[in-house]
Structure 1
Amino acid sequence: MTVWTWSDNTDALVKKGNSRLFLLRRLRSFGVQGLSSGPSYDSVVASAIFYGIVCWASSITDRDRRRMDRLVRRASSVLGCPLDSVEVVGNGRMMAKLSSLLNNTSHPLQDSLTALGSSFSERLLHPRCVKERWGY
């Protein structure tokens, strides 16, 4: 039985991203550059490498994050414009998902998230862990 790790996930994403950078290089060879190829990056490369980033962004190692950032930098050099790092994209999408959960009153987690809200600021507080004590 093989155990799947976040490094295995990163390997698969980097491999997929590298293969999809071929399309961006091909577009560049036809003279399409800059902002006009940005939607191509979003639809072809970014959609493949950032799929599920809300789940894995906070769990990957620094080595894996650097590998993903290297892929984004390569795409940036192909496009000729700066792109957001993995951390920036992950935080942005996580905050968007959290915001949509807080705004959806029928979501099952809405009550739990609302209870974590600070009464003084609009921030979410960290939940407190309650350790169960066994009576031996």
Structure 2
Amino acid sequence: MKGTVLAPFLFTLYTADFSYNTPSCHLQKFSDDSAVVGLITDGDDREYRGLIQDFADWCLWNNLQINAGKTKELVVDFRRRSHSPPAPVSIQGTYIETVKSYKYLGGHLNDSLVWTHNTDTLIKKGNSRLFLLRRLRSFGVQGPLLRTFYDSVVASAIFYMG
């Protein structure tokens, strides 16, 4: 499926029969990406690790490949005292890298859920596009055309998370 226009559609179609949703864990699928979200309470991560293993096994049985080398784990820990990091997750014998920040669906997430990096990225992207708008105005482009450029190029970049 990799590299085709149909890949996101086919991934959604092929994985439609695998779903998981409980109060503490769920599998989020979007286009051709998947994310496992798990709430680990009192150090009990069995359901989280079980869901990862079940999904990896299901993919194997259904001839879908998980690129474990590109897979990342982001751990958000709200405990007041620092604890040792959780044991690394393994998918098909490959240990998954734990990262401090990750870009997912256009948004920049980090392990403390601070939006500074995401906001800085949006500001940078917005400023570069506003520069283009100012250049158009300096060339004598007027009203409705500037508004159309703003709506399609500047606003779309600022109001979309990525």
TM over 0.5: no
Higher strand fraction (1 or 2): 2
The structure number with the bigger radius of gyration is 2
TM-score by length of 2: 0.30
Higher helix fraction (1 or 2): 1
TM-score by length of 1: 0.35
